[in-house]
C-alpha cells in the first residue's frame, strides 16, 4: 500500500533495524491502528521467509527465561540479530515473574541487536495469536535471524502460541516429575526438541532416560534431546546447533512450509474474530432485536452481518 508517508518512513526505519521503529510498528498492530494494514503489507518478505521462529515452552521454573538469555548470547556470538516475544501471564499473582525476566534480559538491554517484546495473555482486547504472529514478522523484517517465542506455561493459550512457531523446544527440568508423566503422551505433538535443563541437579540423568523413551528411532533419540545448564551456558552451543540443523531439515522436507500454512490459518482466524468483534460491537449500539434472549439475539446479529458480506 503506497502513499502513506508515515507508514513508508516507519518501514524504512524498521528495515534499517531501528529498535524504536520496531516497537512503534508492533504497537500500531496491537492497537489495530488504521496504518497497520499498510505496514504489514510493506514488510520485507525475503526476511520473513528466512527467519526462524523458535518456540520455547515448558512448566514455570524449568529455566526457559534463563535459557532464552543463554541462546541470545550464543546467537550474538554468531553476529545474528535476535528477537524475543515473551508471552506473560498478566495475573497480578504471577506478575513478579515478568519483572524477573526483564532483569535477566538486562544483560542484553544495551544491545541494539536484541529486541524484546512482552505480550500479555489475559486482560487484552486483541487476539494474542494475531498480535504475536505479526510481531514475529515485524521482528523478522527488522533483520532478526531468529525470533524466540517464550511462553509461560503449558495451557491452551500457550499451545496455540506454540503453533505459530516453525520449531518448538520443550524445556524440562528435574523436579517436575508428575507434570512430565502427565504430559508425556502429548509431548511430541508440541515439541521437536526436548531440553533437559538443570543438568547439574540430581535427577537430570533419570529425566533424560525417561525422555529417551518418547522416541522410538535411535537417531531421533540422539538428536532431539539436549541437556543444558542454562545459567552456566553449558550445552547451549550444541542445542543451537541442533536447532539450526533441524531448521534446515524442515526447510528441505516441506515441514516448515506446512507449519507456516497452519499458522497462517490460525492467525487469519484470530484476525477475523477481532475484525468481526469490533464490527459487531459497533452495530450493537444501533440494533434492535426481536428476541430478548441473548443467544437468539446473537444469532440474529450474525445472520444479519452475513447478509452484508
Ligand X SMILES: Nc1nc2c(ncn2[C@@H]2O[C@H](COP(=O)(O)OP(=O)(O)O)[C@@H](O)[C@H]2O)c(=O)[nH]1
Q: Which residues bind ligand X (CB under 6 A)?
A: 60-66, 100, 197-198, 200-201, 229-231
The Cα–Cα gap between 132 and 130 comes to 6
Which value, to the nearest 10 degrees, does the dihedral of the CA atoms of residues 31, 34, 38, 40 take? 20
| 168: partner contacted, choices ligand X, Mg ion, none (Cβ within 5-8 A by kind) | none
Give the sign of the dihedral formed by CA 287, CA 293, CA 297, CA 300: negative
User: Rounded to the nearest 5°, which phi and psi values hold at 227?
Assistant: -105, 135
Q: CA distances (Å), 219 to each of 4, 200, 213, 215, 222, in order?
A: 53, 25, 13, 9, 5
| 248: partner contacted, choices ligand X, Mg ion, none (Cβ within 5-8 A by kind) | none
**What is the nearest approach in angstroms of ligand X to the Cβ of residue 231?**
4
| 155: partner contacted, choices ligand X, Mg ion, none (Cβ within 5-8 A by kind) | none
| 62: partner contacted, choices ligand X, Mg ion, none (Cβ within 5-8 A by kind) | ligand X
Q: Residue 52's CB: how many other CB atoms inside 10 A?
A: 21
**What is the nearest approach in angstroms of ligand X to the Cβ of residue 156?**
18
The Cα–Cα gap between 126 and 37 comes to 15
The Cα–Cα gap between 231 and 198 comes to 8
With respect to Mg ion, which residue has the nearer C-beta, 65 or 263?
65
**What is the nearest approach in angstroms of ligand X to the Cβ of residue 163?**
20
Please tell me whether residue 59 adopts helix, strand or coil conformation: coil
**What is the nearest approach in angstroms of Mg ion to the Cβ of residue 10?**
31
With respect to ligand X, which residue has the nearer C-beta, 36 or 165?
165
Closest CA to 190 of 229, 158, 212, 228: 158
With respect to ligand X, which residue has the nearer C-beta, 29 or 146?
146
Angle formed by the axes of helices 294-308 and 255-284, nearest 10°? 110
| 134: partner contacted, choices ligand X, Mg ion, none (Cβ within 5-8 A by kind) | none
| 186: partner contacted, choices ligand X, Mg ion, none (Cβ within 5-8 A by kind) | none
**What is the nearest approach in angstroms of ligand X to the Cβ of residue 124?**
21
With respect to Mg ion, which residue has the nearer C-beta, 64 or 242?
64
With respect to Mg ion, which residue has the nearer C-beta, 151 or 263?
151
**What is the nearest approach in angstroms of Mg ion to the Cβ of residue 28?**
27
**What is the nearest approach in angstroms of ligand X to the Cβ of residue 157?**
16
| 198: partner contacted, choices Mg ion, ligand X, none (Cβ within 5-8 A by kind) | ligand X
Contacts of residues 254-260 at CB distance under 8 Å and 24 or more positions apart, as own/partner, are: 256/166, 259/165, 259/166, 260/166
Q: Which of residues 9-68 bind Mg ion (CB under 5 A)?
A: 64-65
Residues in the site for Mg ion, rule: CB under 5 A? 64-65
Amino acid at each position: 500500500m503506497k502513499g502513506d508517508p508515515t507508514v513508508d518512513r516507519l518501514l524504512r526505519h524498521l528495515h534499517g533495524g531501528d529498535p524504536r521503529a520496531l516497537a512503534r510498528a508492533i504497537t500500531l498492530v496491537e492497537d489495530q491502528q488504521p496504518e497497520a494494514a499498510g505496514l504489514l503489507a510493506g514488510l520485507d518478505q525475503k526476511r520473513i521467509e528466512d527467519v526462524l521462529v523458535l518456540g520455547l515452552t515448558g512448566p514455570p521454573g524449568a529455566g526457559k527465561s534463563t535459557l532464552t538469555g543463554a541462546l541470545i548470547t550464543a546467537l550474538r556470538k554468531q553476529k545474528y540479530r535476535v528477537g524475543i516475544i515473551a508471552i506473560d501471564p498478566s495475573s497480578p499473582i504471577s506478575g513478579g515473574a515478568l519483572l524477573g525476566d526483564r532483569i535477566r534480559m538486562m544483560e542484553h538491554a544495551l544491545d541494539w541487536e536484541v529486541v524484546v517484546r512482552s505480550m500479555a495473555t489475559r486482560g487484552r482486547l486483541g487476539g494474542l495469536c494475531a498480535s504475536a504472529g505479526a510481531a514475529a514478522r515485524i521482528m523478522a523484517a527488522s533483520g532478526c535471524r531468529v525470533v524466540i517465542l517464550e511462553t509461560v506455561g503449558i495451557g491452551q493459550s500457550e499451545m496455540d502460541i506454540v503453533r505459530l512457531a516453525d520449531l518448538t523446544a520443550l524445556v524440562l527440568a528435574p523436579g517436575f516429575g508428575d507434570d512430565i508423566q502427565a504430559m508425556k503422551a502429548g509431548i511430541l505433538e508440541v515439541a521437536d526438541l526436548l531440553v533437559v535443563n538443570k543438568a547439574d541437579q540430581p535427577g537430570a540423568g533419570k529425566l533424560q532416560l525417561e525422555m529417551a523413551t518418547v522416541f522410538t528411532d535411535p537417531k531421533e533419540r540422539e538428536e532431539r534431546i539436549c541437556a543444558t545448564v542454562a545459567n552456566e551456558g553449558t550445552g547451549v552451543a550444541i542445542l543451537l546447533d541442533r536447532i539450526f540443523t533441524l531448521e534446515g531439515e524442515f526447510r528441505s522436507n516441506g515441514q516448515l512450509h506446512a507449519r507456516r500454512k497452519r499458522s497462517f490459518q490460525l492467525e487469519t482466524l484470530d484476525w477475523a474474530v477481532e475484525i468481526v468483534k469490533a464490527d459487531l460491537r459497533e452495530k450493537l449500539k444501533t440494533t434492535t432485536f426481536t428476541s430478548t434472549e441473548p443467544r437468539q439475539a446473537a444469532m440474529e446479529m450474525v445472520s444479519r452481518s452475513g447478509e452484508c458480506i
